[in-house]
Amino acid sequence: MSEQTVAFFTHSGDLLAWHSLAGEYQFNQGIGTHDGGMLMVGATQAGQGLVVKMDHKGMVEWQHVMSQDVTVLTHVVQLKSGDFMMIGQSLRDSDQTIATLIRLSRLGEEHWVVHLSSDEAEHTQLSGLVLTHNEDVIIAGTRSDAVYSSLSQGWIARFKIGKKSKQVKLVWETLAGKADARNQINDIVVTSNAIVAVGASNQKSNQYYMDYWVLGVTLKGNTEWEHHYGGIIGNDEAFSVIEMNEAQLVVSGYSSGFSSISGTWLLSLNAAGEIDDFTPTALQH
């Protein structure tokens, strides 16, 4: 039987505690909780969504295996009330999955489970879950007609959520990127005035090589700007984005196209997603 190790660090990188969990688990994301502990989401070896809550010393307080048909949980956030919102995948048939939104209490009790996709022909690969200032839910991912399709578009949607009842109202959703290209979103962040998504796209490179893809969407769902960064030859893909301040975004990813140095690269962007007087930086080991 394998073990999963969870480590707790200070902001300066000092190890506080670590704990091993026996079992065959796959964890996709962990967050710090309001009580100083940690909550992780993922899946069991049997293909069921899994939630594990730990205290500040790394000891398991409770765990919850999802009911219904939720096969994996990918992202989680905690609401001001202490409840947890999470997204995952549910299996419709052998090769179609649908995005699913779940609300759990702070003690791991299921309030509700809602399937978000309605088109039986679509496949959604989830990549981000964030909250607006009024705790609307923003979900991002990549949509295609089939799991192994070479054509895809970025998908971002905003939902209003209820408390105890199964109230999930779609405010808006948008598809980004040309339909005849491969576009994928890997991460999102809500800034002071927009939603910024990053990923990869081949719509600017004759559909062969992938470029860094960065786009800004208003809180009303309108795409304000879109940029592609990369070299003439080689694949470039952005994996994460953070807002340093109102004037600066930092994007990290993998590149083989910026120069002869392949590996992890950082981009510093202004609030409009533009590289402003800054040379992309390679992180070398």
pLDDT of residue 136: 95
Question: Domain range for residue 91?
Answer: 1-126
Residue 87 in contact with residue 74, Cβ under 8 Å? Answer: yes
Q: How do residues 9-23 score in pLDDT, each as one tens digit?
A: 555 556 555 556 556
Residue 269 forms part of a structural domain? no
Residue 142 forms part of a structural domain? no
Q: How far apart are CA 132 and CA 138, in angstroms?
A: 7
Residue 120 forms part of a structural domain? yes
CATH number assigned to the domain comprising residue 108: 2.120.10.30
Q: How do residues 136-177 score in pLDDT, each as one tens digit?
A: 999 999 988 766 678 899 999 999 987 666 789 999 999 999
Q: How many domains does the chain have?
A: 1
pTM, two decimals, is 0.85
Pick 159 or 236 by higher pLDDT.
159
Residue 96 forms part of a structural domain? yes
Name the pLDDT band for 1 (thresholds 50, 70, 90): very low
Residue 158 forms part of a structural domain? no
Q: Which among 83, 99, 218, 66 is positioned nearest to 162, based on CA atoms?
A: 83
Residue 184 forms part of a structural domain? no
Q: How far is CA 262 from CA 127, 208, 236, in A?
A: 24, 18, 9
**Residues whose CB falls within 8 Å of the CB of residue 235, separated by 6 or more in sequence, listed in order:** 200, 209, 210, 254, 255, 256, 257
- In 3-state terms the chain splits into helix, strand, coil percentages (rounded to 5) of 0, 60, 40
Residue 200 forms part of a structural domain? no
**Residues whose CB falls within 8 Å of the CB of residue 206, separated by 6 or more in sequence, listed in order:** none
Neighbours of 204 (CB within 10 A): 17
